[in-house]
Chain A
Amino acid sequence: MNHQVRKLFPLVALAALLGALAYAVTFGTLPPAEFSFSNSDEVKTVDPAKASGEIENRVINGLFEGLLRSMPASDTPDENGMTAMEPQPGVSELPKISADGKTYTFPIRPAAKWSNGRNITAEDFVWSWRRTLHPETGSKYAYQLYYIQGAEAYNSASVEPYDSEKADSEKADSEKADSEKTDSNGRVEIELADRQDSLQPFPRGTIRRGLLTEIVKPPKPETAGLDEEAAKDELDLWRKKWSYIVDVKPTKDGKVDWDAKGTTEKFTTTEELAAGDLQHAMQVLPDFETTVGLAAPDSSTFVVTLKERTPFFHHLVAFYTLYPVNPECVIEHGTPKWTKAENIVSNGPYQMEFRRVRDRIRMKRNPHYWNAANVKFATVDALAVKSNTAALNMYLNDEVDWITEIPKVMVPELQKDPGYRAAPALITYFYRLNVTRVPLNNVKVRQALNAAIDKKQICERVTKAGETPARSLVPPGMLGYTIAPCGEYNPERARELLAEAGYPGGKGLPKIELLYNTNDNHRAIAEVITRQWQQNLGIRVELANVEWGVYLDRQQTLDYTVCRAGWIGDYPDPNTFLDMFVTGGGQNETGWGNPEYDGLIESAGKEADPKTRMEILHRAETILMEELPILPIYYYVSINMVRPEVTGFSNNILDRHPLHILNSPNAGKGTP
């Protein structure tokens, strides 16, 4: 090695070091946003059709907007500090609902525009919802659209051959208008395998539409000895071997003439099988245009036809799965590339400025938003802070304005902080009682058990994460609904009730088994309740913990006496909690049934007037809380910490906090 090189080496090393340092320094210049919040974790996707979860919700609600949008129903909270959330006009005004409650007509707001300035049309919604339902999109929440006619069949690609008898009986039924969409009855759309990109379902390849006359299936494989997943693999393979014989109908000016004579063609969804007249198709789906209840009669009218009256449908419309995406943007860039900051076209109060994975999504005000004048912050940062300790540090050190989670152990200390905001969530923790067993078949015993539980103690001493004691199944804070509370904690009254039931002082009462799935939290709660029952009523309780699968099984087969349970509401309507307990309901699992209760739940489903409907549901819950096949224990809470100077933040059961109505002295200050 020559001497020269050796002499140069320290210089080269030093230069390399300095160069590296210079490189490292270049990354450090990002001015903070006007408002920033810790979003708990990285957003998995900002694609409304594919997202699932609350973390995504916070960002998607900033970037996009649906026909309706969940907004606080009033400016002032109720006596519990809660504000009900109400679906309010978004891209559309409030819909016109037909008398039978099945047809919703949404008038699209003329001022509604995409972030590229183009007007939002009804066709955009048809296209977006169709994309959500398309099986290849793989939308985890597509079932939110299943209330729409034909949506489930389209999403699960279930096609049936044409049945002439069915068609005749429908024709005879002259009541049905021409436009009304019915069961697909053999109407299918076939997408040929001539797509630009086989992995992108949009833009689609050539579409053939016609009547499915027959599905030719090879013999079904034997799956008896296989485990569940392997059996499904076998069946999937088998389904791929089906061939579809279709009477392809002629198309004229984009309209299919269903009554014309067609040509018979054969399709397979497996490329290897395609040969001769057996054509390779990507999909065989029910015909979207004529079987799924979505229509755009003109570009500012969007019509949705439901399977049956669905009183909470407007809540679903205000949920992000049903938000629109810009068709040109998705088609041009493909999924997932269209979600990149440089490509994305959105329609919400904000648009994406840039995104750095597991760091932040920087949003800036969308000048084309119809209500842009009322959007306070020019820039908002959604930080992906996974550790809630780090998030709390950032909050305490004034680096963020809002954190969406805090470490549980800090609850007692932070409760006094002016920024602490706890609100009941859409989740109730309760115990199921098996009313088919002695002694729980006696309502007085059930009431005694309820009156002997000190729920406040459980929340303050055991769970300690700010939970609130529950006296009803339905958590408080739903729009227009008043909960129907059960009896309070009253050991005196509990003993009386037990005596009235024929077990004074707990004498003669058989030992009660309390079943829970193995989990420290459940065990701690069960132990406290056991102690309370023993002290207050003198009854003997035995704890039984089993693992999750066994627990589910024993609960379902009523192989328990008392069993812990929890329920997460699917939508902010009491029905999602109450319809569980109709006689023989799949989730009832208590053996309890009451014809009056069933009647009330059924009539609530048919009631058009929201106020009357809530009253009916309240009556149903009153029955449930009187008969107590379940013992409500506590409501889960959502805990946020919000800087006190931030306004527009309301406590609500959905834990949703629209970004564009938040305000603070920082708004309009720009980024320094």
Chain B
Amino acid sequence: MIRLLLDRIVTMAITLWVVFTITFFLVRFTPGGPFMEEKPIPDAIRRTIEAKFHMHDPLWKQYSRHLWNTACLDFGPSYKMEDYTVNEIIAEGFPVSASLGIFAMVFAIILGVTSGVVSAVRRYSAYDYGFMTVAILGIAVPNFVLGSLAIILFVFILGWFPAAGWGTLQQIILPAICLGLPFAGYIARLTRTGMLEVLNQDYIRTAYAKGLAPVNVIMKHALRGALLPVVSYLGPATAGILSGSLVLERIFVLPGMGSHFLEGAFQRDYVLVMGMVMVYTALVFVMNSLVDLSYAIIDPRIGSR
């Protein structure tokens, strides 16, 4: 177990360094720069600002300075949001994205597992066909389309939710549903397949034969085995929710990490983009490791190597 953790930490450090290096050069070789504006700023002033951010130094010097600061978890002041450091922006954006992601994930798991179980138990019924059609739709329709449709339906026709913004619980629900729906679809399909496989096992038949109530059999005996593929899917799902939130945060005007990342890229705010990429990388890595770890716990066949 300790070995596994150490192993993970070393791999993570290397991954972060590689991602850092690639991003660093990619953003700098993108055409345009942070201080090219529609209304040009006087040359001397632009150069003063650039000098403040060490932009006239040779690239290797910028790279090593930036790498060292990043290693110390200091991403520096944002180029464009002059009142903020990148750390502050991340600190403000993270809870928003986390909140959105948690709601989306919980929604996806609850809806996905329930509909998956129902579909498997009532195989080839109207429920089964209904749920699986919705699941396929959820997977197939891109979330910006889903977001726009949801706004038309729930905001303008039904009037249940506000159109955009951040501040009240009501404002999180709609984007969370749009974000979670595709994952609910995947989870439903995985659960259904897992369930169908388990329901044919001998021990389930034994449980029924013992005279246990069907609810008990399904919840206590069958579900455990059926959820293994779902757990392994949670790692990629987390990554998907993170990247999906880029789009939805923009549509619903949520001040999360996704909005900051996109705007940072558009405005060539190099340091902000770097900071965001680092946080995303670390996040995906940690979530995947957690999933691996829990997988090792729930499935005895998987050793703790």
Chain B binder among A167-175, A185-193, A385-393, A478-486? A385-393
A52 touches B39 (CB 8 A): yes
Residues of A within 8 A of B296 (CB): 1
User: Of A28, A47, A359, which contacts B255 at CB under 8 A?
Assistant: A359
A386 touches B165 (CB 8 A): no
A419 at interface by CB-CB < 8 Å: no
> What 1/0 flags go to A126-142 for Cβ under 8 Å of B?
00000000011011101
Give Cα distance in the complex from A20 to B80, angstroms. 33
**Closest B residue by C-beta to A135:** B48
A6 touches B77 (CB 8 A): no
A384 touches B168 (CB 8 A): no
B183 to A: closest C-beta gap in Å: 15
B106 touches A17 (CB 8 A): yes
Q: Interface size of A by Cβ–Cβ distance < 8 Å?
A: 53
Residues of A within 8 A of B92 (CB): 356-357
B96 touches A27 (CB 8 A): yes
A394 touches B81 (CB 8 A): no
Give Cα distance in the complex from A143 to B43, angstroms. 12
Asked if A394 meets B164 with Cβ closer than 8 Å, knowing A25-B169, A233-B56, the reply is yes
A536 to B: closest C-beta gap in Å: 35
**Closest A residue by C-beta to B224:** A10
A397 touches B155 (CB 8 A): yes
Residues of A within 8 A of B263 (CB): 42, 358, 386
B141 at interface by CB-CB < 8 Å: no
Give Cα distance in the complex from A384 to B164, angstroms. 11
User: Of A6, A336, A390, which contacts B298 at CB under 8 A?
Assistant: A6
B294 touches A6 (CB 8 A): no
Asked if A386 meets B84 with Cβ closer than 8 Å, knowing A9-B297, A52-B41, A236-B56, the reply is no
**Closest A residue by C-beta to B176:** A24
**Closest A residue by C-beta to B296:** A1
User: Of A6, A20, A45, which contacts B300 at CB under 8 A?
Assistant: A6
A336 touches B294 (CB 8 A): no
B152-174, CB < 8 A from A? 155-156, 162-172
Residues of A within 8 A of B96 (CB): 27, 359
Residues of B within 8 A of A390 (CB): 163-164, 251-253
Give Cα distance in the complex from A136 to B49, angstroms. 8
A13 at interface by CB-CB < 8 Å: yes
Residues of A within 8 A of B165 (CB): 359, 383, 385, 394, 399
B162 touches A387 (CB 8 A): no
Give Cα distance in the complex from A45 to B83, angstroms. 5
A23 touches B98 (CB 8 A): yes
Q: Interface size of B by Cβ–Cβ distance < 8 Å?
A: 61
Give Cα distance in the complex from A527 to B126, angstroms. 59
Residues of B within 8 A of A5 (CB): 297
Asked if A359 meets B164 with Cβ closer than 8 Å, knowing A9-B298, A28-B171, A44-B82, the reply is no
A9 touches B294 (CB 8 A): yes
Give Cα distance in the complex from A29 to B47, angstroms. 44
> What 1/0 flags go to A38-55 for Cβ under 8 Å of B?
000010111100101000
A28 touches B172 (CB 8 A): yes
A387 touches B250 (CB 8 A): yes
Residues of A within 8 A of B80 (CB): 44
Give Cα distance in the complex from A339 to B162, angstroms. 31
Residues of A within 8 A of B98 (CB): 23-24
Asked if A30 meets B88 with Cβ closer than 8 Å, knowing A24-B98, A142-B45, A387-B250, the reply is no
Asked if A386 meets B250 with Cβ closer than 8 Å, knowing A236-B56, A393-B155, the reply is yes
Residues of A within 8 A of B171 (CB): 28
**Closest B residue by C-beta to A56:** B82
A15 to B: closest C-beta gap in Å: 13
A357 touches B99 (CB 8 A): no
B214 at interface by CB-CB < 8 Å: no
B49 touches A339 (CB 8 A): no
B163 touches A339 (CB 8 A): no
B103 at interface by CB-CB < 8 Å: yes
A27 touches B164 (CB 8 A): no
Of B156, B163, B260, B298, the most chain A CB neighbours within 10 A belong to B163
A136 touches B48 (CB 8 A): yes
Residues of B within 8 A of A50 (CB): 82
**Closest A residue by C-beta to B48:** A138
Give Cα distance in the complex from A547 to B166, angstroms. 42
B202 to A: closest C-beta gap in Å: 21
A494 to B: closest C-beta gap in Å: 36
A622 at interface by CB-CB < 8 Å: no
B168 touches A29 (CB 8 A): yes
> What 1/0 flags go to A72-110 for Cβ under 8 Å of B?
000000000000000000000000000000000000000
A309 at interface by CB-CB < 8 Å: no
A545 at interface by CB-CB < 8 Å: no
User: Of B52, B99, B259, which contacts A138 at CB under 8 A?
Assistant: B52
B199 at interface by CB-CB < 8 Å: no
A28 touches B169 (CB 8 A): yes
> What 1/0 flags go to B72-87 for Cβ under 8 Å of A?
0000010011111000
A487 at interface by CB-CB < 8 Å: no
B211 at interface by CB-CB < 8 Å: no
> What 1/0 flags go to A113-157 for Cβ under 8 Å of B?
000000000000000000000011011101100000000000010
B235 at interface by CB-CB < 8 Å: no
**Closest B residue by C-beta to A5:** B297
A260 at interface by CB-CB < 8 Å: no
Residues of A within 8 A of B167 (CB): 28-30, 32, 359
Give Cα distance in the complex from A21 to B104, angstroms. 10
A232 at interface by CB-CB < 8 Å: yes
B297 touches A20 (CB 8 A): no
A1-16, CB < 8 A from B? 1, 5-6, 9, 13
B66 to A: closest C-beta gap in Å: 17
B26-70, CB < 8 A from A? 37, 39, 41-45, 47-49, 51-52, 56
B120 to A: closest C-beta gap in Å: 19
B11 at interface by CB-CB < 8 Å: no
A27 touches B95 (CB 8 A): yes
B44 to A: closest C-beta gap in Å: 6
A249 at interface by CB-CB < 8 Å: no
A229 to B: closest C-beta gap in Å: 9
B304 at interface by CB-CB < 8 Å: yes
Give Cα distance in the complex from A156 to B43, angstroms. 11
**Closest B residue by C-beta to A338:** B83
Residues of B within 8 A of A143 (CB): 42
Give Cα distance in the complex from A42 to B102, angstroms. 26
B156 touches A397 (CB 8 A): yes
Give Cα distance in the complex from A336 to B85, angstroms. 9
B222 at interface by CB-CB < 8 Å: no
B82 touches A20 (CB 8 A): no
Give Cα distance in the complex from A385 to B167, angstroms. 14
Give Cα distance in the complex from A32 to B95, angstroms. 20
A232 touches B99 (CB 8 A): no
B163 to A: closest C-beta gap in Å: 4
User: Of A27, A29, A52, A135, which contacts B99 at CB under 8 A?
Assistant: A27
A-B contact pairs, 15 of them (CB 8 A): A21-B102, A24-B99, A25-B169, A47-B83, A140-B41, A357-B93, A357-B260, A358-B255, A359-B165, A359-B254, A383-B165, A385-B165, A393-B164, A394-B162, A568-B39
Top 7 A-B residue pairs of the complex, sorted by shortest distance between their CB atoms? A30-B167, A359-B255, A28-B169, A393-B163, A45-B82, A24-B99, A358-B255
Q: A17-B109, A383-B165 are in contact. List 17 more A-B contacts (CB 8 A).
A: A23-B99, A24-B102, A28-B167, A28-B171, A28-B172, A50-B82, A156-B44, A232-B43, A236-B51, A336-B83, A336-B84, A358-B255, A383-B253, A387-B250, A397-B163, A399-B162, A568-B39
